[in-house]
Amino acid sequence: MKKIVIALFVVMVLLLLNSRQEQIIIPSDAIRFRIIANSNNIKDQEEKIKLKKDLEPVLGSILSNSYTKDDTIENINNNMNEIKKTIEKHNLDYNINFGLNYFPEKTYKGLKYSSGNYESLVVTLGDGLGDNWWCVLFPPLCLIEAEEENYDEYTYTSYIKELLDK
């Protein structure tokens, strides 16, 4: 009986601690970025990651002077040819769409991203049947992460909360 009471106490404490953990929800006016792989085979997933690594610095440069959602939209639209040229270096069939696209709900590093249709830049490779990689271009969450891959979860969450509170 004593073991059951102790176990229940531990479970209750864990539930209380977990329920107090703050969730930060990215605003609905965020601009997302997504690359969908052709399939889940290793080669297609590797191609998706190579493309991601090539596009990050290009997007970082394009968006370096983007301080608002409107700035971000304008800079992406004005530089779509540069984005396409980077993709075309990979000699892959692709489709690119900048506009409203559906995203499922996702939680990443303590941040909750609600499902829905979001302004986004989506690159679909081939048939687009594979796992995807995604991030947020505005506020510039993925570009921050690309620069600082050693953020721990607490630092990342605190920094993003600070950005969103401004």
For 121-134, how does the pLDDT look when each residue is reduced to its tens digit (9 = 90+)?
999 999 999 999 88
Instruction: Supply the DSSP symbol for 147.
Output: H
The strands making up 116-125's β-sheet, listed across from edge to edge, are 94-103, 116-125, 31-36, 132-138
As a whole number of angstroms, the distance between CA 28 and CA 116 comes to 9
Residue 22 has pLDDT above 70, yes or no: no
End-to-end distance of the chain based on CA atoms, in angstroms?
52
pLDDT tens-digit readout, 73-112: 999 999 999 999 999 999 999 999 999 998 878 776 677 7
Lowest-confidence segment of 13-17, 48-52, 76-80, 108-112 by average pLDDT: 13-17
pLDDT tens per residue across span 132-152: 988 888 887 765 444 444 444
